[in-house]
Amino acid sequence: MVGIILASHGEFAEGILQSATMIVGEQDNIAAVTLLPSEGPDDIRQKIEEAATSFETKEVLVLADLWGGTPFNQANTLFDQNQEQWAIVAGLNLPMLIEAITSRFTMEKSHDIAKAIVSVAKENIKVKPESLYEEPKAVQANNGPRQSLPAGTVVGSGKIDIGLARVDSRLLHGQVATAWSKDVKPTRIIVVSDEVAKDELRKSLITQAAPPGVKANVIPIDKMIEIWNDPRFGKTRALLLFENPTDVLRVVEGGVGLEEINIGSMAHSEGKVMVNNVLSVNKKDVDALTALRDKGLTFDVRKVPSDQKKNLWDLLKKANFNSK
């Protein structure tokens, strides 16, 4: 019997599994894994791996809550190693899950079940009054001309428009692809990192996680500085993503005109101190943040646009870090 892993932000996976068992009864070879606010990508990846190895089969179907979210992205890294026996479907809902469970009685391959449940999931999205329903329209990206422009060509204002610069150790994931993209309305999401730019797997996962109509790129720090000084990017509205404050400081020291930094999440690791449930820092982080403040930058500590802004320096004081 195909094993099913439900992967979600928060406790959604556990809740929807409980709902399904009320309808179809208790099930074997099925597991719910959750990404909690205090956890990072490695934690959910480990949970997915442990769930898969607990099954009595190598055929695995992952049902993730959100395309491009951290649970989906981490499942995707494992999928690359098991493409013949794994399948992933995003957009988890109850009809999809029930269909997946019942399909296991007649289908032995994860790919077959994945193919069968997508239409069921879509067909069960309905609205009252029915006049409100519209068939979804294809979204076409509008990222400017595809042909290279000669060096020195001035487009628009001649300066890239940075709608948001965010520090987030998870980089491009659900909160960015949905909430922040809708708020900022970028034409391009740019991950700025020397380390990620050298990692072909991570680059591929990030470009796949981009929301419809927005192109995602991964570039090294020096390339970001070059783009800032290139007038051909004058019509680009960008959402910049950094893994850590040190990379932001290097970009600013290179001349990129950032004014405010959104601090979204900084994962916990050895040697770091938790300052709230999603932010962990060490001395190197604090030194970089202090240097950025001394250069006149301000900070916006929020996971999503609807959150209330928090004062970064109050958080650091609570963690007994001494900022000048």
- Rounded CA gap, 322 and 273, in Å? 13
Tell me if residue 9 is catalytic. yes
- Rounded CA gap, 167 and 176, in Å? 11
CB count within 10 Å of CB 303 equals 20
Strand order across the beta sheet in which 60-64 lies: 30-35, 3-9, 60-64, 86-90
Helix (H, G, I), strand (E, B) or coil at 137: coil
Cα torsion 91, 94, 96, 99 to 10°: value is: 170
Q: How many helices (H) and strands (E) does the chain have?
A: 13, 12
End-to-end CA distance of the chain: 60
- Rounded CA gap, 240 and 171, in Å? 9
The strand ranges marked E within 81-223 are 86-90, 161-168, 188-192, 215-219
Please choose, from the candidates 170, 177, 183, 238, the residue with its C-alpha nearest in 3D space to the C-alpha of residue 212.
177
Q: Which residue among the candidates 166, 173, 203, 250 is catalytic per the annotation?
A: 173
Own/partner pairs for 144-147, CB < 8 Å, 24+ apart? 144/187, 144/235, 144/236
Strand order across the beta sheet in which 237-242 lies: 215-219, 188-192, 237-242, 161-168, 260-265, 298-301
Mind giving me the DSSP string for 142-164?
Answer: --S-SSPPPTT---TTSS-EEEE
Tell me if residue 173 is catalytic. yes
Q: Cis before residue 211, ω within 30 degrees of 0?
A: no
Q: Which residue among the candidates 2, 3, 7, 9 is catalytic per the annotation?
A: 9
Which positions are annotated as active-site residues?
9, 173
